[in-house]
Amino acid sequence: MAGRFFSDRVALGAVAAIIVFFFVAAVAGVCSWMQWPMPMDPNATNLAGKLLPPGAGHWLGTDNLGRDVLSRMVAGSTISLTVGFVAMAVSLGIGIIVGAVSGYFGGWVDNITMRVVDALLCFPSFFLILSAIALLGPNIWIIIAVIGLVGWTGTARLVRAEFLTLRESEYVRAARAMGQSGGKIIFRHILPNAFAPIFVTAVVSIPDAILVESGLSFLSFGVPPPQATWGNIIADGKSYFLDAWWLIVFPGLAIFAASLAFYLAGDALRRAATTR
């Protein structure tokens, strides 16, 4: 699988882009945590230099308060990738546990859990997230928790399908005959063999979380200002689109590029896992 994946040039390009985004976000996060000065403070205002176009002093221009757009995008990358990875981990953990229990035990356990999943799928997930954030308040950890708690249903259905197929395998029957417990069979024998499709789902769910966070920030339900995110940079610039196009184009391209890189990497992983 690894050989097929790394022989794909599209996959290598996607991985290279993800590494660049991750490196930028990591550097910005460390600078913020250690209180080290960045080349330009993303929250420093300068009304005399507001809405400057991209140039030598400000490579991506400035916003309506004179803040450097490039510095704010670098700082915002930490928020976007943190939300993407941590929300993915939360939804993946819940989905794996629910799907594994449902698929392995079947019967009434499967019926109840799948009816709960079907009920959750009937509601638009974004509006559930929006309602929860409106009630609980905008905070990065609340946003991550809500996105993770809402986004596990697809993973649960995938894991259940894999477990329904694998639970009748010879090695699972042998493990049962040896008296091994259900938990041991699930996590030691079945789950490792279902890892490939689960990993693909995990990679593809990261850009979904990034897009949700960007949408929440654009609607002013995301991380509160002055903390920069890609979504609220666009929100700040929507009133100045005709005069300052760079406030929308550059963060929009960042969201597009990051999402596309993860989607392409996930698709390449899927092809590598299914090709024999």
Q: What is the DSSP string of the chain?
A: -HHHHHT-HHHHHHHHHHHHHHHHHHHHHHHHHHTPPPSS-TT---GGGTTPPS-SSSTT-B-TT--BHHHHHHHHHHHHHHHHHHHHHHHHHHHHHHHHHHHHH-HHHHHHHHHHHHHHHTS-HHHHHHHHHHHH---HHHHHHHHHHHTTHHHHHHHHHHHHHHTTSHHHHHHHHTT--HHHIIIIIIGGGGHHHHHHHHHHHHHHHHHHHHHHHHTT-SSPTTS--HHHHHHHHGGGTTT-THHHHHHHHHHHHHHHHHHHHHHHHHHHHH--
* Rama region for 106: left / alpha / beta (φ>0; ψ in -120 to 50; rest): left
Q: Is residue 179 in a domain?
A: no
The region of weakest confidence among 32-46, 89-103, 146-160, 243-257 is 32-46
Residue 274 has pLDDT above 80, yes or no: no
Quote the percentage of the chain above a pLDDT of 70.
98
Question: pLDDT tens-digit profile of 81-93?
Answer: 999 999 999 999 9
Q: Is residue 110 in a domain?
A: no
Would you state the structure tokens that stand for residue 43, as one six-digit string? 């929250």
Average predicted confidence (pLDDT) for the chain: 89
Q: State the Cα–Cα distance between residues 231 and 69, nearest whole angstrom.
A: 13
Q: State the Cα–Cα distance between residues 8 and 56, nearest whole angstrom.
A: 37
Query: Confidence class of residue 36 from pLDDT cuts 50, 70 and 90?
Result: confident
> What pLDDT sits at residue 275?
66
What would the mean pLDDT of 131-150 be, rounded to a whole number? 88
The Cβ-side half-sphere exposure at 110, using a 13 Å CA radius, reads 12
> What pLDDT sits at residue 210?
93
What are the residues facing 68 on neighbouring strands?
62
Q: State the Cα–Cα distance between residues 8 and 13, nearest whole angstrom.
A: 9
What would the mean pLDDT of 250-265 be, rounded to a whole number? 95
Q: What total number of domains does the chain contain?
A: 1
Q: Is residue 72 in a domain?
A: yes
Question: pLDDT tens-digit profile of 7-22?
Answer: 888 889 999 999 999 9
What would the mean pLDDT of 30-41 be, rounded to a whole number? 77
**What residues have CB less than 8 Å from 39, skipping those under 6 apart?**
71
Yes or no: say if 229 and 214 are a contact pair by the CB < 8 Å rule: yes
- Read off φ and ψ for residue 62, nearest 5 degrees: -125, 165
> What pLDDT sits at residue 1?
64
Q: Is residue 42 in a domain?
A: no
More confident residue, 251 or 31: 251
Yes or no: say if 258 and 8 are a contact pair by the CB < 8 Å rule: no
> What pLDDT sits at residue 225?
80
Q: Is residue 48 in a domain?
A: no
In 10 A of CB 208, how many CB atoms? 20
Q: Has this prediction a pTM greater than 0.85?
A: yes
Q: State the Cα–Cα distance between residues 92 and 153, nearest whole angstrom.
A: 9
More confident residue, 96 or 35: 96
> What pLDDT sits at residue 276?
58
What would the mean pLDDT of 224-239 be, rounded to a whole number? 88
Q: State the Cα–Cα distance between residues 139 and 103, nearest whole angstrom.
A: 35
Q: Is residue 140 in a domain?
A: yes
Q: State the Cα–Cα distance between residues 212 and 227, nearest whole angstrom.
A: 17
Q: Is residue 229 in a domain?
A: yes
Would you state the structure tokens that stand for residue 270, as one six-digit string? 């899927």
Residue 165 has pLDDT above 80, yes or no: yes
**Residue of 142, 30, 48, 126 whose CA lies nearest to 87:** 142
Q: Is residue 54 in a domain?
A: no
Range of the domain at 85: 2-35+63-94+127-156+198-274
Token pair 């699972």 is at which residue? Answer: 172
